[in-house]
A and B are shown apart, each in its own frame.
Chain A
Amino acid sequence: MSGPFASLLVRDLRLAARSGGSAALALAFFALVATLVPLGVGADLKLLSRIAGGVLWVGAVLAALLSLDRLYQGDFDDGSLDLIALSPLSLEQVALAKLLAHWFSTGLPLTLLSPLLALLFGLSAEGTWALFLSLLIGTPAVSAVGAIGASLTLSLKRGGLILPLIILPLLAPAVIFGAGAVTAALDHLPNGALGLLSAFSLAAVLLSPFAAAACVRLNLAG
């Protein structure tokens, strides 16, 4: 990790920590979703433990979505993005640094909170471990795909709801395999979901910087 990359990463992490605790907001949102669903579907713990993987995965994805617009928007608005683009880092490296910072400040905290929320759903120990593992592997993909969406919708005034519309279909494999890993653990059947999730995550994290950089270039030029 070269000097500029590390300092950009640290800068973004510091900004995330300072900006009104957006990690805390995402965690609160995650916890609220995990609270509302049992209120909606009823208190049957057997049912809840079956759906825990899916519900918590969807909750994590939506919570991560919340903090995506500040990924590039803040820097774009006050001109820092232009300056960053002039640095010795390529835009792809910038995108990767921002992606990592987003994951550290959002995806990782969500992953760490998930075992506690799995408790609310009566998820067994193996299910909870599978959930934790799947979120650990899958949330980088959420940040990666989210970064593409954030850079695409960079200059939109009412970016609002179009970001989820663009990102969520692309994140479907992550939700399918992430929740599938939990189901596999509950059924004690191997189903390769974690493997497929890892492949998806790897591909997303590796390819996203190129797409995101192209979009940032596009928006800076205009």
Chain B
Amino acid sequence: MFRYANPAVFMRLSGVLLPWVSGAALIALAVGLYLGFHVPPDYQQGMTVTIMFVHVPAAIVAESAYGLIAIASLFSLVWRHPLADTAARAAAPLGAVFTALGLVTGSLWGRPMWGAYWVWDARLTSFLLLLFLYLGYIALWNAIEDEARAARAAAILALVGAINLPIIKFSVDWWNTLHQGESILSGQIASVFLWPLLIMALGYMLLFAALWMIRIRTEIVTRRARNLMQRAA
């Protein structure tokens, strides 16, 4: 883990990985979308079930991204890993966008399914709170001028907010919610829907990984440019 803490090593490694990850993401998304559009209509939902293939992966990535930020924050605070702060900061806007996507696609799915664009049940509420947690995290980074201090404050905030993650995950078990319960790990989902869903989820995750690497690389290069400018001035 600390071998990749050296920005130069990270740049080399990500430079090699990036084209492969992006390519794999494109392929996975293409295959997933093709399969998704060719599923048989659900007995209850008809073809509206296909929204699941964009909604569920977005929600999975949104939650995982915050989890990654929490882990990176831990690395930053406890082990003082140098790139952890950059990685966490880079992941936040991506996570926020995926959360927003999850909210919007879920809302569009809710209208035909539940008759409502929004309900205040536990899953939806905690997912909306996740968006606000992201926004607060991003705002804190931007508000504190000293980079080192901002990094540590943001890390503490990320760890405090991480309590929301198990709440989102288990909200459908703990409360009576309108949102559909757990059906992937328990094997209740039909395999004809499972495969496009898994492939799309993989595609979304690879997309997130590619964008994340691009953002971290950009941050490293920007910092280098800033240092050079300061030395030239």
Contacts and interface: CB of A to CB of B under 8 A. Distances in A.
Central interface residue in B144, B148, B153, by most chain A CB within 10 Å: B153
A162 B136 contact: yes
B133 A169 contact: yes
Contact of B140 (A162, A170, A222): A162
Interface stretch (A8-16, A31-39, A71-79, A152-160): A152-160
A170 B164 CA distance: 8
Interface stretch (B64-72, B95-103, B154-162): B154-162
A170 B160 contact: yes
B146 A222 contact: yes
A166 to B, nearest CB: 4
A166 B149 contact: no
Contacts of A172: 125, 129
B125 A214 contact: no
Contacts of A218: 149, 152-153, 156
A81 interface: no
Contacts of A222: 146, 148-149
A165 interface: yes
Q: How large is the interface on B (under 10, 10 to 19, 20 to 34, 35 or more residues)?
A: 20 to 34
Contacts of A155: 144, 149
Interface string B133-146: 10110011001101
Contacts of B148: 222
Interface residues of A, number: 21
Interface string A191-216: 00000000000000000000100110
A215 B140 contact: no
A152 B132 contact: no
A172 B136 CA distance: 14
Contacts of A152: 140, 153, 156-157
A187 to B, nearest CB: 15
Contacts of B143: 153, 156, 158-159, 162
A166 B156 CA distance: 12
Contacts of A23: none
Interface of A: 148, 152-153, 155-156, 158-159, 162, 165-166, 168-170, 172, 176, 211, 214-215, 218-219, 222
Interface of B: 125, 129, 132-133, 135-136, 139-140, 143-144, 146, 148-149, 152-153, 156-157, 159-161, 164
